[in-house]
Amino acid sequence: MARYIFITGGVVSSLGKGLASAALGALLQARGFSVRLRKLDPYLNVDPGTMSPFEHGEVFVTDDGAETDLDLGHYERFTGVPARMTDSVSSGRIYSNVLEKERRGDYLGKTIQVVPHVTNEIKDFLHIGEDEVDFMLCEIGGTVGDIEGLPFFEAIRQFSHDQPRGQCIFMHLTLLPYLAASGELKTKPTQHSVKELQSIGIAPDILVCRSEHPIPEKEREKIALFCNVRKEDVVAAYDLKSIYEAPLAYHREGLDQAVLDAFQISPAPRPDLTIWQDVADRIYNTDGEVNIAIVGKYVQLEDAYKSIKEALTHGGMANRVKVNVEWVDAEVFDTQEPAQHLDGFHAILVPGGFGERGTEGKIKAAQFARERKIPYMGICLGMQLAVIEAARNVAGMATAGSEEFDHEAGGKRFEPVVYHLKEWVQGNAKVKRKVSDDKGGTMRLGAYDATLIEGSRVAEIYGTTSIEERHRHRYEVDTKYREKLEEHGLRFSGMSPDGRLPEIVEWADHPWFIGVQFHPELKSKPFAPHPLFSDFVRAAVETSRLV
Cβ proximity of 56 and 14 under 8 Å: no
Of the residues 67, 380, 403, 506, which is catalytic? Answer: 380
Q: Is 213 a catalytic residue?
A: no
Of the residues 74, 510, 519, 530, which is catalytic? Answer: 519
- Between 437 and 312, name the one with better pLDDT: 312
For residues 105-121, give the mean pLDDT: 94
Rounded to two decimals, the pTM is 0.93
Q: Beta-strand (E) ranges in 428-525?
A: 429-432, 444-452, 466-473, 475-477, 490-495, 502-507, 513-516
- Average pLDDT taken over every residue of the chain: 92
14: pLDDT strictly greater than 80: no
For the stretch 238-248, pLDDT in tens is 989 999 999 99
Cα dist. 391→31, 365, 395 in Å? 54, 15, 5
Amino acid at 168: C
Q: Range with the lowest mean pLDDT among 6-15, 70-79, 212-221?
A: 6-15
81: pLDDT strictly greater than 90: yes
> Which of the four pLDDT bands, split at 50, 70 and 90, describes residue 501?
very high
SS3 209: strand
- Between 224 and 45, name the one with better pLDDT: 224
Q: What does the alpha-carbon distance between residue 270 and residue 186 come to, in Å, rounded to a whole number?
A: 35
Q: Range with the lowest mean pLDDT among 59-63, 349-353, 542-546?
A: 542-546
What pLDDT, on a 0 to 100 scale, did the predictor assign at position 53?
78
User: By C-alpha distance, which of 280, 244, 302 is closest to 70?
Assistant: 302
Q: Does an H or E element contain 376, and which?
A: strand 376-379
183: pLDDT strictly greater than 60: yes
Q: Is 407 a catalytic residue?
A: no
Neighbours of 76 (CB within 10 A): 22
Of the residues 58, 403, 476, 521, which is catalytic? Answer: 521
User: By C-alpha distance, which of 241, 398, 386, 298 is closest to 58?
Assistant: 298
Amino acid at 294: I
User: By C-alpha distance, which of 166, 168, 154, 116 is closest to 40?
Assistant: 154
Amino acid at 161: H
Q: Are strands 415-420 and 423-426 parallel, antiparallel or unpaired?
A: unpaired
Q: Is 519 a catalytic residue?
A: yes
What pLDDT, on a 0 to 100 scale, did the predictor assign at position 303?
85
For residues 28-35, give the mean pLDDT: 98
